[in-house]
Structure 1
Amino acid sequence: MAPSKRKAEQPPVEATGRVTRSSAKLAAAGLKTAPVIEVPEKKKETKKPKGKKQKKEEVVAEVNGGAPVTDKGTVVEPSRKTIVIEHCKQCNSFKTRANLVKEGLEKRSSGITVILNPEKPRRGCFEIREEGGKKFISLLDMKRPFKPMKDLDMEKVISDIAEEISNT
């Protein structure tokens, strides 16, 4: 390597700390210290505690005519049946099947409200149940590759559930 070329000797800088290029330039310009610029203090943001994520719950509130409404804006009527689909968040195949069942049930019968994961779901779980009542499908503690869930014929499951609900 070639020796580095140095610029003309600069006068020594009167600094108590380390010497930087900017402090050397200030000294060459005849200033002893850098001009002081006031920076406004940032407001401290309150951080959420680390750990478990907060639950995304559907909160039911009384609105207008007394009809309960979930936080997503869907009206829950007392005469309608509510179906709860609890699916694990470990793999996207759970979510895909849960959404397929939800759309299928809502299309087939108008008297049904379908809710996905109102509480924190269990691991390896795919369960379809009537709120406070009968369980239609309950697959618990499944291990990868989730064969029992993947073997289900979703169209048949949807038609069976819709038929059972319309009979009662």
Structure 2
Amino acid sequence: MAPTKRKNDGKEDAASENLKSTRATRSSTRQASQGVAKVVIEAAPKTKKAKLSSKEKPDTKSKPSSKEKPQPKPKTTEEAAADLPSNGVNGSKTIVIEHCKQCTQFKIRAAKVKLGLETAVSGINVLVNPEKPRRGCFEIREEGGKQFISLLDMKRPFGPMKALDMDAVISDIVDQVK
């Protein structure tokens, strides 16, 4: 059964005339609310925006002017150590560990080797991924020189890397560095 009509004691607005209907449905409700929103939007006063001359354009991008010199960003410890020669200061050596970021197994083994080398050899610099690493790669090398371990283009489940005894690898590298 249809809902009963309400009586309107003779007081009618322009908005209520647009909303009058005999049957309330979703589509009529949506249409009615859109009509009311239009009336409210049209009634709002319009303001003008100030025009900018061609000389006064807002600076949307922060570009350094020709007078200002761009400040160099601070270097990380790995970048700073990479700038040192391979013998470093006081005859210390730099070891580079390059590992793929594809799986956490690479990261775990690289961290273990780094910790083992730093504790076993005093004054050694160990860099982990100073450059973008290759895919499926686990490589330990002396910077600009000898390679200790080089496992390249490994596929999942990374069998050759998982078969390594990391303690034996660390002790071999320590013997070769000293």
Please classify the TM superposition score into its range, dividing by the shorter chain length: 0.5 to 0.7
- Runs (4+) of structure 1 moved beyond 2 Å? 19-23, 33-39, 41-46, 56-60
Deviation at 1:34, TM superposition (A): 4.0
Contact 1:10 1:24 in 2 (8 A): no
Structure 2 residue aligned with 1:36, among 36, 47, 56? 47
Q: Distance in 2 between matches of 1:8 and 1:42?
A: 48
**What TM-score does the superposition give when structure 2 sets the normalisation length?**
0.60
CA gap 1:2/1:156 in 2 versus in 1, 3 angstroms: farther
Q: Which residue of 1 aligns with 2:165?
A: 153
Whichever of the two has the greater Rg, that structure is: 2
Q: Percent identity?
A: 55
Q: Distance in 1 between matches of 2:148 and 2:48?
A: 69
Structure 2 residue aligned with 1:24, among 39, 62, 67? 39
Contact 1:88 1:124 in 2 (8 A): yes
Listed one character per residue, the Cα deviations across residues 137-157 of structure 1 (whole Å, up to 9, x for unaligned) are 110110100010011111111
Contact 2:82 2:130 in 1 (8 A): no
Unaligned runs of 5+ in 1: 12-18, 47-55, 61-68
Contact 2:116 2:170 in 1 (8 A): yes
Structure 2 residue aligned with 1:8, among 16, 35, 50? 16
In the TM superposition, 1:49-60 aligns within 5 A as 58-60=78-80
Q: Distance in 1 between matches of 2:157 and 2:112?
A: 19
Listed one character per residue, the Cα deviations across residues 106-162 of structure 1 (whole Å, up to 9, x for unaligned) are 111113110111222111110001111111111011010001001111111111111
Matched position secondary structure for 1:89:
coil
**What TM-score does the superposition give when structure 1 sets the normalisation length?**
0.63
Root-mean-square deviation (CA, aligned residues, Å) is 3.7
User: Whose strand proportion is higher, 1 or 2?
Assistant: 1
CA gap 1:134/1:70 in 2 versus in 1, 3 angstroms: closer
Q: Supply the AA of the counterpart residue of 2:46.
A: P
Q: Distance in 2 between matches of 1:100 and 1:2?
A: 78
Listed one character per residue, the Cα deviations across residues 36-73 of structure 1 (whole Å, up to 9, x for unaligned) are 3859x893589xxxxxxxxx99434xxxxxxxx569xx
CA gap 1:154/1:37 in 2 versus in 1, 3 angstroms: farther
CA gap 1:140/1:36 in 2 versus in 1, 3 angstroms: same
User: Whose helix proportion is higher, 1 or 2?
Assistant: 2
Contact 1:23 1:34 in 2 (8 A): no
CA gap 1:149/1:79 in 2 versus in 1, 3 angstroms: same
Q: Distance in 2 between matches of 1:161 and 1:126?
A: 15
